Structure 1
C-alpha cells in the first residue's frame, strides 16, 4: 500500500483506500484496518466490502455481485460504494 499511495498522491487528487474482503461477522478487523490506513496518513472509504460468497461466485461466473444476486448484501455494498464514489467525484469536481 505505501507504494500505491505514493503513486496516487502524485496526481494531486483525493486518495481513499477501500477495505475489502473484511470478515462480515464483526467490526474488529475493520477497525484495525482503519487504524493502519490512518497510520499511513491515508483515508478509508466509509463503505466496506465484506468477504461474501456472492462476490466469489459472481467472479467465477464472470458477473458482478449485482448481476449474480441483485438483492443480496454483496450487491448492496457495491451499490453503496458506487453511490459514495459518485458523490466524492461530484464534490471534487464541481460543475
Structure 2
C-alpha cells in the first residue's frame, strides 16, 4: 500500500448518479453489463442534492484507508481570489480534522 494518499478536491468532485436518464438531455448515459443505464454528473449541478463537503470526504477517506492524506489539488480553473478562498477552506477543513 502507499505511504500517503493524495486527494484532489474540485467543486465538481462529488458525483450524482441517476438512473432517470431522460431528465438529462444532452448528457451521455453510461451503461454496462451489470446495471441499467445511468447518468454520472456533478452533484453541485443537481437541484436538491446535498454535497458531503471536503471535511466529510477527508474523514471518510481517513477512516477507510488509515494512512496519511495529502490534499494535492484544491480548485478548478478559477480566479486568484477564488483559489485563495479554496485554499483557506481546504486548510481550515484539514486543521479541524487533526
Please indicate, yes or no, whether the TM-score normalized by the shorter chain is above 0.5: no
Q: TM-score, normalised by structure 1?
A: 0.31
Normalising by structure 2, we get a TM-score of: 0.31
More strand by percentage = 2
Relative contact order: is structure 1 or structure 2 higher (C-alpha 8 Å, sep ≥ 6)?
2
